[in-house]
Amino acid sequence: MTERVVLAYSGGLDTSVAIGWIAERTGAEVIAVAVDVGQGGEDLEVIRQRALDCGAVEAYVADARDEFAEEYCMPALRANGLYLDRYPLVSAISRPIIVKHLVRAARQFDAQTVAHGCTGKGNDQVRFEVGITSLAPDLKCLAPVRDLALTREKAIAYAEQHKLPIATTKHNPFSIDQNVWGRAVETGFLEDIWNGPTKDVYSYTDDPTFPPVADEVVITFDQGIPVALDGVAVTPLQAIQEMNRRAGAQGVGRIDIVEDRLVGIKSREIYEAPGAMALIAAHQELENVTVEREQARFKRTVEQRWTELVYDGMWFSPLKKSLETFIDDTQRYVSGDIRMVLHGGRATVTGRRSEASLYDFNLATYDEGDSFDQSQARGFIEIFGLTAKLSAARDVKFGNGVDLTGADLPGAEA
């Protein structure tokens, strides 16, 4: 039986050429797999037919938008997943769902190898291959660009020579990856980190310099999941799409960052994630109201490690699953409403309410009705500061106390 290779297929030039390129260099039949995670563009049936026209023996297409929103975007939201505290894992969370469909197709079509279009210097090669072998250790992985020397120039020449039904151009300044959670842009003149992004870089967001009238939205959460906007019930996918539209119109979610890639290099990336950034900001504020202090402090550590694991391609790792168990438990009371104003590139929370709130007005107020017993504060401070007091006394005893005579003290003369 002829060996078969399942190829992650986008419908673009490189993966269209890769179908024939793989077949010629390995002798294998190619099954193209296209997964819709809300990236927009062409109809799935058009992409499927193009794969067949380019030489694929089978073409598997999947509308995975709801699955992506519910099983990948929502865990990222509940984890407040922001790599380097800024990047909302736009590409990182889309790879494992694509991997799942690639492995499913490999089983369905009896393929022994799974291929992807990544280069040898990015994060995605790791995300694909670690994900694939985590789900199916017996499968082999192939990267035509990295392993079979499929360069951009060769791809254009191959497409023209074989008259493939795909547009070819040598001038394409950016590398773009997008889905419903956001959009990532890199390469071209952006590789000079002194160059500012031009208007043509952006697609999901309007210029925040000249915003329309401010937009106020009320987001309702149930256990950390957005379930309604302005009182209208929504699915996770609908929540993201609507917040993309409304926050994007206000220029919310533009990110320009130099980030640390897993492979050891720094990379300049431009991201647009209006819905993701607005929803994360709202979710974080509702957690401030409903999650107990020590639990919240520890969750921030868990969030960072969860985010690093996902960024590094370890979505299916045991540690990530264990951390997610903790995160899920923290979301038990993260239910309620967040009022947010979207305007001029900012998503600003202006109101919070929750039946599970830990905010007690009578404890917090300084006005009449204050129920906080301030007489207990003195004893609390004595006990809380006792270890520091004892340590300071020991320092003084051995001549290591703080110098209070130095010229660096406030008001001291030079």
Known catalytic residues? 14, 95, 124, 175
DSSP E strand stretches across 118-265: 140-142, 175-179, 182-186, 215-222, 225-229, 232-233, 254-260
How many Å apart are CA 44 and CA 247, to the nearest integer?
A: 27
How many Å apart are CA 196 and CA 5, to the nearest integer?
A: 41
Binding residue ranges for ATP:
8-16, 117
Binding residue ranges for L-aspartate:
119, 123-124
Return the DSSP state at 121: S
Task: Report the half-sphere exposure of 338 (CA within 13 A, side-chain side).
Answer: 28
How many Å apart are CA 184 and CA 175, to the nearest integer?
A: 8
Binding residue ranges for L-citrulline:
87, 123, 127, 175, 259, 271
Question: Is residue 340 classed exposed, middle or buried when 0-12, 13-18 and 19+ CB atoms within 10 A define those classes?
Answer: buried
Angle (nearest 5°) at CA 212 between 210 and 216? 130
DSSP E strand stretches across 225-335: 225-229, 232-233, 254-260, 266-272
How many Å apart are CA 414 and CA 404, to the nearest integer?
A: 15
Binding residue ranges:
8-16, 87, 117, 119, 123-124, 127, 175, 259, 271
Return the number of other C-beta atoms located less than 10 Å from residue 224's C-beta.
24
Tell the residue number behind the tokens 């010229």, with chain if given: 407
Widest distance between CA atoms in the chain: 89
